[in-house]
Amino acid sequence: MSITLYTAPNCLRCKIVKEFLAKRGQGYTAYDFKEDKDIFNNYYRANRSSIYRNPEGVEFPIFDDGNVIKQGTGEILAYLLSGRVLESCVTRSELLHGWISGLNVSACPAGQEENFSTLIRVLAKGGLTVQLRSDGRRSDLLKTILDEGTVSRMVLDIVAPSRLYPTVAGGPIDLEDLNRSISLTRSHADHLIRIVVSAYAGEGGAMTRITPAEAGEAAQMVLDACGNRMLPVFVEAAQNAGLEPLEGQALLPYRSKVRNVLVKAEIRKPEAH
Amino acid sequence: MGHPTIYPTGVTVYDPEKCWNGLTIFQAQEVGAVLMDMNGREVNVWKGVLGMPNKIFPGGYLMTSRGRRDGKFSVQDGIDVVQVDWEGKVVWKFDQNEFIEDPGYEGRWIARYHHDFQREGNPVGYYAPGMEPKTDSGNTLVLAHRNARNSAISDKQLLDDLILEVNWEGEIVWEWNCHEHFEEFGFREGPKNTLARNPNYRPTKPEGMGDWMHINSMSVLGPNKWYDAGDQRFHPDNIIVDGREANITFIIDKKSGKVVWKLGPDYDSTPELKAIGWIIGQHHCHMIPAGLPGAGNILIFDNGGWGGYDVPNPGSPTGVKAALRDYSRVLEIDPVAMKIVWQYTPSEAGFLFPMDSNRFYSPFISGMQRLPNGNTLITEGSDGRVFEVTPDHKIVWEFISPYWGKHVPMNMTYRAYRVPYEWVPQVKKPAETPIKPLDVFSFRVPGAAALGDRAKEVTVDGCVPYGGSNALCVASVDDDDKK
Counting beta carbons within 10 angstroms of the beta carbon of residue B242, is it exposed (0 to 12), middle (13 to 18) or buried (19 or more)? buried
Q: Which residue of B has its CA nearest to A260?
A: B96
Q: H/E element holding B26?
A: strand B23-28
Query: Between chains, do B109 and A253 touch, taking CB under 8 Å as contact?
Result: no
- Name the fold adopted by B10-458: Neuraminidase (2.120.10)
Task: Give the pLDDT confidence score for residue A167 in this predicted structure.
Answer: 93
Task: Give the pLDDT confidence score for residue B482 in this predicted structure.
Answer: 46
Q: Which among A81, A70, A77, A130 has a CA at the least distance from the CA of A105?
A: A130
Q: Does the CB of B353 have a partner CB in chain A at under 8 Å?
A: no
Q: Please report residues of A whose CB lies closer than 8 A to that of B109.
A: 263
Distance from CA of A263 to the nearest CA of B (A): 6
Report d(CA B33, CA B86) in Å as an integer: 12
Q: Which residue of B has its CA nearest to A257?
A: B171
Task: Give the pLDDT confidence score for residue A267 in this predicted structure.
Answer: 94
R_g over Cα of chain B:
23
Question: E strands of B120-247, at which residues?
Answer: 140-150, 154-166, 172-177, 201-202, 209-210, 215-220, 239-243
Distance from CA of B327 to the nearest CA of A (A): 42
Alpha helices in A47-112 (DSSP H): 73-82
Distance from CA of A253 to the nearest CA of B (A): 6
User: For residue B46, what are the β-bridge partners?
Assistant: B33
pLDDT per residue as tens, chain B (483 positions): 467 899 999 999 999 999 999 999 999 999 999 999 999 999 999 999 999 999 999 999 999 999 999 999 999 999 999 999 999 999 999 999 999 999 999 999 999 999 999 999 999 999 999 999 999 999 999 999 999 999 999 999 999 999 999 999 999 999 999 999 999 999 999 999 999 999 999 999 999 999 999 999 999 999 999 999 999 999 999 999 999 999 999 999 999 999 999 999 999 999 999 999 999 999 999 999 999 999 999 999 999 999 999 999 999 999 999 999 999 999 999 999 999 999 999 999 999 988 899 999 999 999 999 999 999 999 999 999 999 999 999 999 999 999 999 999 999 999 999 999 999 999 999 999 999 889 999 999 999 999 999 999 999 999 998 877 666 776 665 555 544
Q: Does the CB of A256 have a partner CB in chain B at under 8 Å?
A: yes
pLDDT beyond 50 at A140: yes
Is the backbone peptide bond immediately before A253 cis, with ω within 30 degrees of 0? no
- Which B residues, 175 through 214, put their C-beta within 8 Å of a C-beta on chain A? 175
Q: Which residue of B has its CA nearest to A272?
A: B149
Query: Between chains, do B174 and A257 touch, taking CB under 8 Å as contact?
Result: no
Report d(CA A48, CA A42) in Å as an integer: 10
Q: Does the CB of A255 have a partner CB in chain B at under 8 Å?
A: yes
Q: What is the mean pLDDT of residues A194-200?
A: 95
Task: Fill in the amino acid letter for A144.
Answer: T
Is the backbone peptide bond immediately before B354 cis, with ω within 30 degrees of 0? yes
Q: Which residue of A has its CA nearest to B175?
A: A249
Query: Which of B100, B165, B168, B171 should we substitute to test contact with A (largest number of A Cβ atoms within 10 Å)?
Result: B171
**pLDDT band at residue A228, thresholds of 50, 70 and 90?**
very high
How many interface pairs between A and B have CB atoms less than 8 angstroms apart?
26
Contacts of A113 (CB under 8 A, 6+ apart): A141, A144
Q: Does the CB of A253 have a partner CB in chain B at under 8 Å?
A: yes
Task: Give the pLDDT confidence score for residue B2 in this predicted structure.
Answer: 62
Query: Between chains, do B99 and A255 touch, taking CB under 8 Å as contact?
Result: no
Distance from CA of A238 to the nearest CA of B (A): 20
Q: Which residue of A has its CA nearest to B174?
A: A249
Residues above pLDDT 70, as percent of chain A: 98
Query: Between chains, do A253 and B171 touch, taking CB under 8 Å as contact?
Result: yes
Query: Between chains, do B99 and A256 touch, taking CB under 8 Å as contact?
Result: no
Alpha helices in A47-193 (DSSP H): 73-82, 113-125, 139-147, 165-168, 175-187
Q: Does the CB of B96 have a partner CB in chain A at under 8 Å?
A: yes
Report d(CA A185, CA A174) in Å as an integer: 16
Q: Please report residues of A whose CB lies closer than 8 A to that of B162.
A: none
Query: Between chains, do B99 and A264 touch, taking CB under 8 Å as contact?
Result: yes
User: For residue B332, what are the β-bridge partners?
Assistant: B299, B342
Task: Give the pLDDT confidence score for residue B483 in this predicted structure.
Answer: 43
CATH number for the domain formed by residue range(s) A1-129: 3.40.30.10
Query: Between chains, do B96 and A249 touch, taking CB under 8 Å as contact?
Result: no
Distance from CA of B156 to the nearest CA of A (A): 18
Query: Between chains, do A259 and B99 touch, taking CB under 8 Å as contact?
Result: yes
Task: Give the pLDDT confidence score for residue A273 in this predicted structure.
Answer: 37
Report d(CA A78, CA B424) in Å as an integer: 73
Residue range(s) in chain A whose domain bears CATH number 3.40.30.10: 1-129
**pLDDT band at residue A48, thresholds of 50, 70 and 90?**
confident
Q: Please report residues of A whose CB lies closer than 8 A to that of B96.
A: 256, 259-260
Query: Which of A228, A263, A269 should we substitute to test contact with B (largest number of B Cβ atoms within 10 Å)?
Result: A263
Of A252, A259, A264, which is closest to B175 when you measure between CB atoms?
A252
Q: Does the CB of A54 have a partner CB in chain B at under 8 Å?
A: no
Asked if B322 contacts B315 with a C-beta cutoff of 8 angstroms, the reply is: yes
Give the domain ranges of chain B. Answer: 10-458
Q: Please report residues of A whose CB lies closer than 8 A to that of B171.
A: 252-253, 256-257
Q: Does the CB of A232 have a partner CB in chain B at under 8 Å?
A: no
Half-sphere exposure of B136 (CA within 13 A, CB side): 2
Report d(CA A106, CA A137) in Å as an integer: 5
Report d(CA A109, CA A119) in Å as an integer: 14
Distance from CA of A99 to the nearest CA of B (A): 26
Task: Give the pLDDT confidence score for residue B318 in this predicted structure.
Answer: 94
Query: Between chains, do A256 and B171 touch, taking CB under 8 Å as contact?
Result: yes
Q: Which residue of B has its CA nearest to A271?
A: B150
